[in-house]
Structure 1
Amino acid sequence: MLKPQYPIETARLLLRPYTMNDLDGLYGFHSRPDVARYLPWEARTREETEAALKTKIGQAELNEQNDVLCIAAELRDTGALVGDMYLFWRSKEHRQGEIGFAFHPDHHGRGLAAEASREIMRLGFEELGLHRIYGRCDARNSASAKLMERLGMRQEAHLVENEIFKGEWGEELVFAILRREWR
């Protein structure tokens, strides 16, 4: 079980649960085709973003296997919502988790996603007691692959035409890190 003590502060970010006040910020990047390109949903309308936000609000802790922790990443100095962080509890028995992230393109290239991801990994390893955290991305998404490498994750797989993704065969990269490697 994981009930983080919010807000979680990093050098430049506050990581916290979502609230309905995040609708404009979340819509600001969930509505963009360049953000949704490699995600399992298309660019969202305001109404679709609001529905997704309502779900995220109820995902501020992990109570059992298959729960997902959704955390808003905001800039400490301005309060702007810049990122969407996920920690999926994939297996209690095998102590497996999966990390996910989406950041507003206006804030790419500043190391914010890495800063937030390191803290999500800390939660998974230190507070949830995970043995292994993995991340997946579309093989064309070089920015996400590079981020996972910067986090110390190793590429474990390149799945070729493993699923139909947005109407065509897709390829997926799988990265992972073990608790002992993370330390």
Structure 2
Amino acid sequence: MDFTNTPTLETERLLLRRFTENDLYALFAIHSDKEVNTYLPWFPLQSIEEASLFLKERYLDTYSQPYGYRYAICLKSDNLPIGYVNIDANEPHDLGYGLLKAFWRNGIVTEAANAVIHQAKKDGIPYITATHDIKNPRSGNVMKRLGMLYQYSYKEQWQPKDILTTFRMYQMNLDGQNERVYKGYMEQTLNQPG
């Protein structure tokens, strides 16, 4: 599987493409919003300098490595990032997403994630997982709309925010092995001290 040539994807309303250096201010808008980032492990970005480093490390540097799918979610009408959707190439093939508040409740993340999941399946990714904080059931609703199935809950001391969080783990098997359940999050919880 070669993830370094991740193709641009199109849906009815959206263009899913790589982030570029020209997207710095859009990325800052997404990752500096406190409400958008409430249920993410990292703190909201505080400056354009932080955003520049985040863009480089989280997106630009990874496009030459086999790290999976890291897409900017853009409306076709203006091709400006309003969110992101990612699937990691390595286990547990975690699906992650975020969207500017102004675009919530329009099915945009579901539409974008469906396209990326379809591409991952085509490329031979065997399954995907996704987790959400139990205090964020709307994220779980996205997972359900995508056809993902709830598997188990677990607790984790979330870093760098350093808060104990209960997560719900969902999974979708893409290769027909419907009995498979990724247990890594559960095992990680069992191996934590205390």
Tell me which interval the TM-score lies in, with the shorter structure as reference length.
0.7 to 0.9
Question: 1:72 — aligned with what?
Answer: 72
Question: 1:162 — aligned with what?
Answer: 156
Amino acid at match of 2:78: T
The answer to whether the 8 Å contact 1:134/1:175 transfers is: yes
- CA deviations on 1:45-74 (whole Å, 9 max, x unpaired) are 2221111111212333663xxx24311111
3-state secondary structure, aligned to 2:73: strand
Comparing both structures, which one devotes a greater share of its residues to strand? 1
- Once the two structures are superposed, the pairs formed by residues 80-159 of structure 1 within 5 Å of their partners are 80-91=80-91, 97-127=93-123, 129-159=124-154
Percent identity between the two aligned chains: 24
Aligned length: 172
Unpaired segments ≥5 residues, structure 1: none
Question: 1:59 — aligned with what?
Answer: 62
Question: 2:183 — aligned with what?
Answer: none
- Candidates 155, 161, 171, aligned match of 1:176: 171
3-state secondary structure, aligned to 1:60: helix
Unpaired segments ≥5 residues, structure 2: 179-194
Could you tell which deviates more after superposition, 163-172 or 41-50? 163-172
3-state secondary structure, aligned to 1:121: helix
Structure 1 residue ranges, 4+ long, deviating more than 3 angstroms after superposition: none
- CA deviations on 1:17-46 (whole Å, 9 max, x unpaired) are 111111111111210111111111111022
> What TM-score comes out, normalization by structure 2 length?
0.81
- CA deviations on 1:81-117 (whole Å, 9 max, x unpaired) are 11111110124xxxx5221111111111111100110
3-state secondary structure, aligned to 1:11: coil
**RMSD between aligned residues:** 1.9
Partners of 1:150 and 1:80 lie apart in 2 by: 25
Partners of 1:74 and 1:32 lie apart in 2 by: 18
The answer to whether the 8 Å contact 2:41/2:158 transfers is: no
